[in-house]
Amino acid sequence: MIFDQLSNLAQYKGIHPELDNAIDYLILDDYKTLQVGSHHIKGDEIILHVSETDLNDVDQSVYEYHETYADIHLLLVGQESLSYGYGKTDEIASFKNDDDFGLVTCQQSCSMGLGIDSFAIFFPKESHQPGQQLGNDKHIKKVVVKVLMN
């Protein structure tokens, strides 16, 4: 997991070739003008999802994870609390290979405040919990970039 200022994003190049491609795209700032929906930036290797959503004001113990994709989380409007979960205990539902999506509970977590000047990267198998309210913001506009990491 990486959490940093958006101005430092380029420093994380070199971890994986597709992550480098995603970072290069994000540095151009073109994503800020995209409409809500899914956008294939590079086939199925890099998919950008723009969404507007309401945040949860109740802490939940359910965390998502992915087996083959990393997630890069960025905000366009508002702020959000994200949690990184570790010490997986129980799988809530069977992992969905088609969606690369699973839900688990975690024994411990670390929370961070995501704003429009920061980003978070969650790598495959890293449990994370987006969508938690931070401050007075109850609604956000967000970008999640899915990066294939095989």
Give the total number of structural domains in the chain: 1
Confidence label for 88 from pLDDT (cuts 50, 70 and 90): confident
Read off the pLDDT of each residue in 4-29 and give the average, rounded to a whole number.
97
Whole-number percent of the chain with pLDDT over 90: 85
What per-residue confidence (pLDDT) applies to 105?
92
Contact yes or no for 130/80 (Cβ under 8 A): yes
What per-residue confidence (pLDDT) applies to 51?
98
pLDDT at residue 101 greater than cutoff 90? yes
How far apart (Å, rounded) are the C-alpha atoms in residues 139 and 141?
7
pTM of the predicted protein model: 0.95
Residue 101 belongs to what domain range? 2-148
Please, how many CA atoms are within 13 Å of residue 48, restricted to the half-sphere of its CB? 23
**Which helix (DSSP H) or strand (DSSP E) does residue 120 occupy?**
strand 118-122
CATH number of the structural domain spanning residue 65? 2.60.120.370
What per-residue confidence (pLDDT) applies to 93?
83
pLDDT tens-digit map of 17-76: 999 999 999 999 999 999 999 999 999 999 999 999 999 887 777 999 999 999 999 999
Whole-number percent of the chain with pLDDT over 70: 99
Contact yes or no for 1/120 (Cβ under 8 A): yes
Put the strands of the sheet holding 2-5 in their side by side order: 2-5, 118-122, 69-77, 139-148, 46-54, 37-42
